[in-house]
Amino acid sequence: MNTALTLRQKGLLVVASLLGFELLLLGGLNWLLSDAEKQIARHQRAQAVIASLQRLSSLRERANSGVLIQQFFKDRPDSARFHETFQKHLDAIPLQLDKIRDLIKDDANGSKKLAELDRYTRLGVSLIEQQRQFYIAQNTFEERMTTARLAGILFQTSHWTESLLEDYEKIEKEVSPLEEESRKRLAQALWVMAAINIVIAVVIGQMFVKSIISRLSIITANSNNLASGAKLNAPLEGSDEIVELDHVFHNMAKRLAESAQMKQEFVQMISHDLRTPLTAILGTFELLNSGAYGELSERGLSRVGDAANESQRLIAMINELLDIERLESGNMQLMREQLDLQPIIRRSIEAVSVIASARKIQFEAGSENPTVNVDGDRIVQILINLLGNAVKYSPEGGVIHVNVSDQEQLVRIEVVDQGPGIPEHEQSSIFERFKQIESVDYKRSGSSGLGLAICKALVESHGGRIGVSSEEGKGSCFWFTLPKLSKNTEAIQQSDTQ
């Protein structure tokens, strides 16, 4: 369907097309209905003519019988029996002829025959009247002559009546099957037209909907591509509302990309500009603390130590910002290799042992030592983050467990603490950037809210998954999985087995 039209115009075009087909179908149906009505009218007219001719014959026969009755009883013309047995039937004959004439007025051949029938019938009626008068006058000779003439006239009326009856009985026989055929054709046409109408509506509707759905699917694919960072499909061509929406989407994606690029550059610039002076400040605090600039009072040493700690926290936050930007932009390269897991766990525990010992917290690690295909430094970074959180939120004198389980192609690592636990409704969101748990215990920690987001990005970049299971008041279990073998190693092993 032409995309130069708007959706409104396309909708009107579909409706107009359907209406056009409806008019064509109604025209065909009207023709069939008209033909059926003509056949029915012919059949009914033939039946009416046949009934009228039979009625005319009956009236004529009753009038003749009435003549015989009057010859026997010699009733007066104004008597009731005279009227019932003779005059009533005689008077009805012209009326019946008029009725027949009206029925067959459009039939030229029938009208000619009826004219002859009318002429002989009226002549017969006149002769019957004369015969009646001659009988009353007892004019036997004239009565017999009239009777002889009447017999010839009656023969002619019977002849023309039978001729008309034959014609219309023939018409009735011909029209009856035609009428039935017309009814059948009309019924069939109704079903066929209904089917055609449905097919046309479905086909046109499908064409219209297919054009919309196919292009909406492209916009949907672009939305998924934008979310995953993949390349967008080419802009749609045309001028309707869907094309306009696609163009707006591409413009939005372009601006988002520009905004993301500006944000990345801004973060990198700020991080670099902040980290350099903060490193210098931290170095100065360390010199002050070591007495390089003279001895400080105990209170001064405490304040310098606090300032040094805050400087280290700011540098760590800046490093986290840089890490997560590199991960999201795909600029962080993983140096993956086959490594034993236990040395990585020991390095991580040693890194947080100082803050753990200050709170008398102990670590218990499993002895399993599977080989994993990872960037060792990044796994240490993940474990330090998880272990550091566990130390922060565990009670003094608590125990933190580090469990390792071998699961076919994956290794699962768990960090289990005895902290306050995490509410169930917040467990799905704690791996988002800057997300912190709405609890006093957690807010006091001073966390930046970036650590778990970095862990998630690093685990997923290794092809693993990360999650948490926790119950309030019963501690938390943070877990993540890592691949045991690289893709190249898997391919080599598969070729060896084959």
Q: SS3 string of the chain?
A: CCCCCCHHHHHHHHHHHHHHHHHHHHHHHHHHHHHHHHHHHHHHHHHHHHHHHHHHHHHHHHHHHHHHHHHHHCCCCCCHHHHHHHHHHHHHHHHHHHHHHHHCCCCHHHHHHHHHHHHHHHHHHHHHHHHHHHHHCCCHHHHHHHHHHHHHHHHHHHHHHHHHHHHHHHHHHHHHHHHHHHHHHHHHHHHHHHHHHHHHHHHHHHHHHHHHHHHHHHHHHHHHHHHHCCCCCCCCCCCCHHHHHHHHHHHHHHHHHHHHHHHHHHHHHHHHHHHHHHHHHHHHHHHHHHCCCCCCCHHHHHHHHHHHHHHHHHHHHHHHHHHHHHHHHCCCCCCCEEEEHHHHHHHHHHHHHHHHHHCCCEEEECCCCCEEEECHHHHHHHHHHHHHHHHHHCCCCCEEEEEEEEECCEEEEEEECCCCCCCHHHCCCCCCCCCCCCCHHHHCCCCCCCHHHHHHHHHHHCCCCEEEEECCCCCEEEEEEEECCCHHHHHHHHHHHC
pLDDT value at position 491?
42
The string of pLDDT tens digits covering residues 52-61 is 888 888 887 8
The string of pLDDT tens digits covering residues 338-393 is 999 999 999 999 988 888 888 899 999 888 899 999 999 889 989 999 998 899 88
pLDDT value at position 495?
42
Task: Give the pLDDT band of residue 62 (cuts 50, 70, 90).
Answer: confident
**Which CATH class for the 334-483 domain?**
alpha beta
Q: What is the pTM of this model?
A: 0.47
Q: Can you tell me the mean pLDDT for 130-157?
A: 78
Task: Give the pLDDT band of residue 489 (cuts 50, 70, 90).
Answer: very low
pLDDT value at position 271?
64
The string of pLDDT tens digits covering residues 301-337 is 788 787 877 777 777 777 777 776 766 666 677 888 9
